[in-house]
Structure 1
Amino acid sequence: MTKRSYYAPTGGLPPQTQILTDRAMFTEAYAVIPKGTFSDIVTSFLPFWDDSRFWVIARPLSGFAETFSQYIGEVQSGGGSDKPETDQGVEAVLFVVSGSLSVTIDGTTYSMDEGGYAYIPPDVPWTLWNDSLEPARFHWIRKAYQFVDGLPAPEAFVTNEKLVPPTPMPETDGKWATTRFVDLDDMRHDMHVTIVTFQPGAVIPFAETHVMEHGLYLLEGKAVYRLNQDWVEVEAGDFMWLRAFCPQACYAGGPGEFRYLLYKDVNRHMPLSFLR
């Protein structure tokens, strides 16, 4: 089995001698938050969380990306929450990138280590605690679930990416593959959070231009990514945030695999009620 690497920020503060030139950028179509910006002074604290802090890397912004928020949480030994979500109608995906966590969903407790993945339906009670001796870090992707009359919400599940075989993209000889945690035909899900893997030298060979918003956190490797009209160098620990219809493509630079955690909104009509 391939040994996986998951980049996780550790905070700190750059020295006073560091120059200010950086790869961080925010445009009308995309944002790049490089790993060097994940310092102590940009963390947030949340109600009902003990010994925990969060890097908020995406939040709904009018006129930009509007469907999701994404955090990287750092939970110290003994830390966690019995009331992590304070909003109603919100679903979540958790993905562990370092350490281990104990997550209880609707009364069932799961032990999640690196590569652990959990889907939590809207309005289902859950808790999260770090019972280990080391800090744990995880991604928390939140979305207001779009209910559809006649479709029940999905059920909760917990797995690990090591247990889910990647699906090769057609006609790529396995050089471009996606680890999917839910069935593409399951219309109950209104978001997909997957892991995309490129072998060294593999490409997205055209500028994808589509309605889905994206959050891409780079778990491993490096690449040159096409974002709107720009080519941007990115590496493990960076986050890319794309609004709908932003053209996108990439070239995996090697020498190892290039992998990222990907969010996109799916399976729903475009809301038009505000026009009535």
Structure 2
Amino acid sequence: MPKSKYFAPTGGHPPQEQLLTDRAMFTEAYAVIPKGTMRDITTSFLPHWSATRLWVIARPMTGFAETFSHYIMEVAAGGGSDTPESDPEAEGVIFVVEGALTLTIDGEQHVMNAGGFAFLPAGCNWALRNHAGGAARFHWIRKAYEAAPGIDAPEPLVTSDSEVSPTEMPGTEGRWATTRFVDPTDMRHDMHVTVVTFLPGGVIPFLETHVMEHGLYVLEGKAVYRLNQDWVEVEAGDYMWLRAFCPQACYAGGPGPFRYLLYKDVNRQMPLRLSKR
């Protein structure tokens, strides 16, 4: 099987000779979790999952992510879960970065390879198994669904990165594009998970400052990212969390495309009482 173009951590442990210096940062406005921190010693486990471990790279907590959790899951051959989600109010997105998985939604099976995307609405009956050889790795992003009065809940969706044409940002000649798996104007959805692509030389030409919280996992390539007052080098396998209103921009220097998986919360009224978050 050819190697996936998406970076996926494999764990392991660094040698004693390795320098301690790294790019990990945790601030009030943003965090950077470099790929080198995703080792065997930082994995976790979940109930009702067999032959599975995970890296938790974001979770709701004071001073960090407020609206979502983000896992990188590693499922060995034969592993998986028939009851993966313990919270009936949680919606989820799965994005496969390595190997193959069988996703079952309400009895219907979907084989997902690298680049496979699935949206799983709250209360959805789903299961996930690795029936292929070798480990499978995927991102699992979870959010408590916020229903909107008079608007139906969204339906399950299974597609892939290769099946959705990227939308070019205006005036960029394709150097900056976003793969949107759901219609951004569909008010049923209160979160978007997309793949953003910058070609070499592509740039966010202003400091974005907005209400959406972000989680960004670098799938491919490298770039320099402006986070609040700092310029930070990032590469495939790194993760960034950006608090709402954190100023942000980036420059993709090459030599190949810079791509990342992006989470943001969208399409809902702003709560006026913080305790409701």
Summarize the Cα distance change of 1:131–1:167 in structure 2 as closer, same or farther, 3 Å threshold. same
Q: Is the 8 A contact 1:215 1:264 kept in 2?
A: yes
Q: What is the identity, as a one-letter code, of the residue corresponding to 1:28?
A: E
Correspondence for 1:122: 122
Residues 243-275 of structure 1, C-alpha deviation per residue, up to 9 Å, x if partnerless?
A: 100000000010000000000000000112558
Map 1:135-214; keep pairs closer than 5 Å.
135-214=135-214
Residue ranges of structure 2 left out of the alignment (5+ in a row): none
Give the aligned residue type for 1:210. Answer: H
**Are 1:216 and 1:239, in contact at CA under 8 Å, matched by a contact in 2?**
yes
Output the CA distance in 2 between the equivalents of 1:36 and 1:86: 30
Distance between the aligned counterparts of 2:209 and 2:98, measured in 1? 33
Residue 203 of structure 1 aligns to a residue whose secondary structure is coil
Checking the alignment, whether the CA contact within 8 Å between 1:176 and 1:197 is kept in structure 2 is: yes
Distance (Å, rounded) in 1 between the aligned partners of 2:91 and 2:249? 29
Aligned to 2:34: 34
Provide the rounded CA distance (Å) in 2 between the counterparts of 1:215 and 1:183.
20
Cross-structure match for 2:224 = 224
Cα distance change of structure 1 residues 275 and 56 upon mapping to structure 2, 3 Å threshold: closer
What's the counterpart of residue 113 of structure 2?
113
List gaps (5 residues or longer) in structure 1: none
| Residues 65, 244 of structure 1: 8 Å contact kept | no
Identify the residue that residue 254 of structure 1 maps to in structure 2: 254
Deviates more, 1:143-152 or 1:61-70: 61-70
Q: CA offset at residue 107 of structure 1?
A: 1.6
Which digits, 9 at most, give the CA deviation of each residue in 1:122-169, with x for residues without a partner? 011110000001100000000000011111110001001101000000
CA distance in 1, matches of 2:264, 2:9: 23
Structure 2 letter corresponding to 1:206: F
TM-score, structure 1 as length reference? 0.97
8 Å contact from structure 2 (residues 4, 98) kept in 1: no
Q: CA separation in 1, counterparts of 2:127 and 2:201? A: 41
Q: How far apart are the structure 2 equivalents of 1:248 and 1:199?
A: 18
**Do the aligned partners of 2:118 and 2:156 also contact (CA within 8 Å) in 1?**
yes
Distance in structure 1 (CA, Å) of the matches to 2:205 and 2:241: 20
Amino acid at match of 2:144: A
One-letter identity of the residue aligned with 1:229:
Q
List per-residue Cα deviations over 1:58-88 (Å, max 9, x = no partner): 0012243200000000000000000111112
> 2:242 is matched with which residue?
242
Q: Equivalent pairs: percent with the same residue?
A: 70
Number of matched pairs: 274
Q: Output the CA distance in 2 between the equivalents of 1:65 and 1:229.
A: 20
Partners of 1:5 and 1:208 lie apart in 2 by 28
Taking structure 2 as the reference length, the TM-score comes to 0.97
Shift of 1:108: 1.2
User: How far did 1:5 drift?
Assistant: 1.2
The amino acid of 1:153's aligned partner reads A
CA contact (8 A) 1:74 1:136 kept: yes
Q: Which amino acid aligns with 1:188?
A: R
The CA distance in 1 between the partners of 2:253 and 2:100, in whole Å, is 31
Deviation for aligned residue 1:4? 7.0
Within a 5 Å distance, the mapping from 1:89-104 to structure 2 comes to 89-104=89-104
Partners of 1:211 and 1:117 in 2: CA distance: 25
Asked if 2 retains the 8 angstrom alpha-carbon contact of 1:12 and 1:39, the reply is: yes
* Matched AA of 1:176: W
Distance 1:54 1:73 in 2: 4
Residue identity matched to 2:258: F
Contact kept in structure 1, 2:4 and 2:97, CA below 8 Å: no
Alignment of 1:74-89 (within 5 A): 74-89=74-89
Deviation at 1:17, TM superposition (A): 1.1
